[in-house]
Chain A
């Protein structure tokens, strides 16, 4: 058995927006004018962010997480694979998780198959391969029609894994990506193939497809009130329906935290970065101010019957994460946990207990949080929060999943993966 796996997720936000950004611009996504990119201030930004991830690796996090977004100030990695490539050279211990390449945005899914195979080789078998469909903003950024996105996504995902495991050349007679010669050079290092993680927002269809394929399900929600353990239960039920069994390492969640010496100090230190994240980064995504691009009738990717059900439960103008107005509301959203090591450990421990989650993907650097504070938080976490979480979760998982055969954390060298 292994304890909860703790990852450091970096979103690489653009941190140099002026204080009147919220007043002047209706979104941080798609239409946010790129004349706001400051040539002088931004020098060295990617280095700073990449070095924070390297630091996480040095601190003993189980891995580093990247993701893909385009044309926005929330995340400056239109190509996370480039950052991953840098990490293969600067780290040698933790997993490199890309969560995930946006498959419908690629003209040819084989590009993803090839780059992931290269990264797996370059990292000596540390890649965790995430595939994601992309959200509303990406639909606008890349002119990708929404209605068949799900089908396109799964055809691409299956083609990629097939290219990793089946002898080529073979012909892929696909509806969306027909290819006559699929013949991947290089092949990935991990066998049978790198672990595949897929994000979802609790749609039964995504859970089912993930379960059928033996992949890991990542809950793409930032808020962890009751929904998270309900999502885990739903996923567990879907797994059982497909003759499989839930175990904590099939499930992952995203959360954010800031740790300081005391609760009060934590709030003071992270306040500016947190509020920059909430008001600027989330504007156009998880905020109702300005124009919301993530979810709405303009990105009609679910069937009409599902939309009807959504409308029945929908409250127009209800508060999203970015709409919180004070620390109390933020705390109630249970998405950014701010406090002393004891406070943070207790809150996360509670979440692990209830949601039985084996992979925590934690965002430490928020908004325009300066480098030294992000590092201090990461260090305190690794020294004073992580050991408690590992200790408690190891005990919990050993008891609750006693007959689970899970390989202990791999040492250097080839990593045996079973697709999860």
Chain B
């Protein structure tokens, strides 16, 4: 695993890269590398064994410079177009988790020609009437002074999930983990606090533009982004299949890494 900090339009982008072969770009979510942890989780490592796995940190996250001119998802998409140019990536496979999934979908509708295959994991981004995405910001406020149980409950299948407790412990956690969590919330609040929350109304009317075969992976008990969002993505993206992972919540890539990577690798190598 190598870490680099590259310059993109005068701002630094924190980059983790590992493996060889066809480029596989990964856009992270909340319970993930860059947004909590500094290094790969088992999920990423497995994928890096079979591809050139590249994971940038979103603007303002980890060591990526903040950009206070990011007001909407559009600004993040244009940032990533610059990142692609800096990395000289013209066509690649793309995986996006959660907020990263939203960014991936927005990238794909604008530049379908760049993406060979697309994987969306627990992806935000859609307006689905009657199915609001959860309020991660409210859940991130501690209860009883120091409990993050309700945040863990939202992002995982259970508040006492071992991975959840490691990433979002009660009380005081690892300082830099907590700073990364804060940075992710700050970036997310720029694009996802309004409208409430994490959707772009226009996106669902653009999904038909996605040309690549698409796999939509969802935890069976996702309490952050409801199942109907997976179904909507699957229905509106032309060449899409939906895979539900049993016994997992929103952070399916952390809770069930083996099952999730198996689905992805079979799909990518199809």
A290 close to B144 (CB less than 8 A): yes
**Contact (Cβ within 8 A) A146 B186:** yes
Give the CA-CA distance A105 to B51 in the complex, in Å. 47
Q: Chain A, 295-326, contact with B by CB distance < 8 Å: what is the 0/1 string?
A: 01111100110011001101111100000000
| Chain B residue with the shortest CB-CB distance to A31 | B138
Q: A144 at interface (Cβ–Cβ under 8 A)?
A: yes
Q: At the interface, yes or no: A136 with Cβ under 8 Å from chain B?
A: yes
Most-contacted residue by chain B among A26, A136, A144, A317 (CB, 10 A): A317
The CA of A62 and the CA of B68, in the complex, are separated in Å by 42
Q: Is A145 interfacial (CB 8 A cutoff)?
A: yes
Q: A residues near B, CB below 8 A?
A: 26, 136, 139-140, 143-148, 151, 288-293, 296-300, 303-304, 307-308, 311-312, 314-318
User: Are A291's CB and B143's CB within 8 A?
Assistant: yes
Write the nearest CB–CB distance from B158 to chain A, whole angstroms.
19
Q: What's the minimum C-beta distance from A72 to chain B, rounded to whole angstroms?
A: 14
B194's nearest neighbour on chain A, judged by CB, is A143
State whether A288 touches B144 (Cβ < 8 A).
yes
Whether the pair B175, A300 counts as a contact (CB closer than 8 A) is no
- Are B193 and A145 closer than 8 Å at their CB atoms? yes
> Which residues of B sit under 8 angstroms from A139, Cβ to Cβ?
137, 193
Q: A299-B141, A318-B145 are in contact. Are A147 and B68 (CB under 8 A)?
A: yes
Indicate whether B125 reaches chain A with its CB closer than 8 angstroms.
no
User: In chain B, what residue has the closest Cβ to A296?
Assistant: B141
Can you list 20 pairs linking A and B with CB atoms under 8 Å apart? A26-B143, A136-B141, A139-B193, A143-B194, A147-B190, A148-B71, A290-B144, A293-B138, A296-B141, A297-B140, A297-B178, A297-B182, A298-B137, A299-B141, A304-B186, A308-B179, A311-B178, A316-B172, A317-B146, A317-B171
How long is the Cα–Cα vector from A151 to B66 in the complex, in angstroms?
A: 15
Nearest CB to that of B143 among chain A residues? A291
Are A143 and B140 in contact (CB-based, < 8 A)?
A: no
Given the interface pairs A144-B194, A296-B141, A296-B142, the reply to whether A311 lies near B179 with Cβ below 8 Å is: yes
Distance of B115 from chain A, by nearest CB (Å):
29
Residues of B with Cβ closer than 8 Å to A?
60, 66, 68, 71, 135-146, 150, 170-172, 175, 178-179, 181-183, 185-186, 189-190, 193-196
Instruction: Please name all residues of chain A whose beta carbon is closer than 8 Å to the beta carbon of B140 when the two chains form the complex.
Output: 296-298
Q: Kindly list chain A residues whose C-beta atoms are within 8 Å of the C-beta of B146.
A: 288, 316-317
Q: Are B195 and A147 in contact (CB under 8 A)?
A: no
15 more A-B residue pairs beyond the given contacts A300-B185, A316-B145, with a C-beta to C-beta distance below 8 A = A146-B186, A148-B71, A289-B145, A291-B150, A297-B178, A297-B181, A298-B136, A298-B139, A300-B182, A300-B189, A307-B179, A308-B175, A311-B178, A315-B172, A317-B144
The 6 closest A-B pairs by CB, nearest first: A288-B145, A317-B145, A316-B146, A298-B140, A300-B186, A145-B193
CA of A68 to CA of B5 in the docked complex: distance in angstroms? 45
CA distance A221 to B172 in the complex (A): 24
A147 to B61, CA, bound (A): 13
Whether the pair B66, A304 counts as a contact (CB closer than 8 A) is yes
* Bound complex: CA A378 to CA B146 (Å): 39
Q: Is the CB of B142 within 8 A of A291?
A: yes
A147 lies within 8 A of B145 (CB): no
Pair A146/B193 contact, Cβ less than 8 Å: yes
Which residues in A have their C-beta under 8 angstroms from that of B137? 139-140, 298-299
Minimum Cβ distance to chain A for residue B27 (Å): 20
Residues of B with C-beta under 8 A to A147 = 68, 186, 189-190
Write out the residue numbers on chain A whose beta carbons fall within 8 Å of the beta carbon of B145: 288-289, 292, 316-318
Expressed in whole angstroms, the Cα–Cα distance for A307 and B176 within the complex equals 11
**CB proximity of B128 to chain A, nearest CB, Å:** 18
- Among B139, B143, B194, the most chain A Cβ lie within 10 Å of the Cβ of B143
Cα separation A304 to B181 with both chains bound (whole Å) = 10
How far in angstroms is the closest Cβ of chain B from A148?
Answer: 6
Residues of B within 8 A of A315 (CB): 172
In the bound assembly, the distance between CA atoms of A314 and B137 in angstroms comes to: 20
Task: Please determine whether B138 and A298 come into contact, CB atoms closer than 8 angstroms.
Answer: yes
Which of B138, B150, B170 meets A140, CB within 8 Å? B138
- Asked if B189 contacts A145 (CB within 8 A), the reply is yes
A413 CA to B136 CA, complexed, in Å: 53
A203–B60 Cα distance when bound, in Å, is 21
Interchain nearest-CB distance for A143 vs B (Å)? 5
Please, which residues of chain B bring their CB within 8 A of the CB of A311?
A: 172, 175, 178-179
With A288-B145, A317-B145 as contacts: A145 and B139 at CB distance below 8 Å: no
| Cβ–Cβ < 8 Å partners of A291 in chain B | 138, 141-143, 150
CB distance from A315 to the nearest CB of B (A): 8
Query: A residues within 8 A CB of B170?
Result: 316
Give chain A nearest CB distance to B62 CB in angstroms. 10
B182/A307 in contact, CB under 8 A: yes
Contact, CB under 8 Å: A304 / B143: no
B173 to chain A, nearest CB (A): 9
Cβ-closest chain A residue relative to B148: A297
Is A316 within 8 A of B66, CB to CB?
no
B136 and chain A: residue at smallest CB distance: A298
Q: Which residues of B contact A304 (CB under 8 A)?
A: 60, 66, 179, 182-183, 186
CB contact under 8 A between A144 and B193, given known A298-B185, A316-B142, A317-B144: yes
Contact status B195-A143, CB under 8 Å: yes
The chain B residue with its CB closest to the CB of A284 is B141
For A296, what are the chain B residues with a Cβ–Cβ distance below 8 Å?
140-142
> What A residues does B193 contact at CB under 8 A?
139, 143-146
Residue of chain A at shortest CB distance from B170: A316
Which chain B residue lies CB-closest to A146? B189
Residue from A136, A299, A315, A316 with most neighbouring chain B CB atoms (10 Å): A316
Among candidates A292, A299, A314, residue contacting B172 with C-beta atoms closer than 8 Å: A314
How many Å lie between the Cα of A292 and that of B68 in the bound state?
27
Closest to B60 in A: A304
CA distance A298 to B137 in the complex (A): 4
Closest to B187 in A: A147
Most buried by B among A148, A291, A296, A304: A304
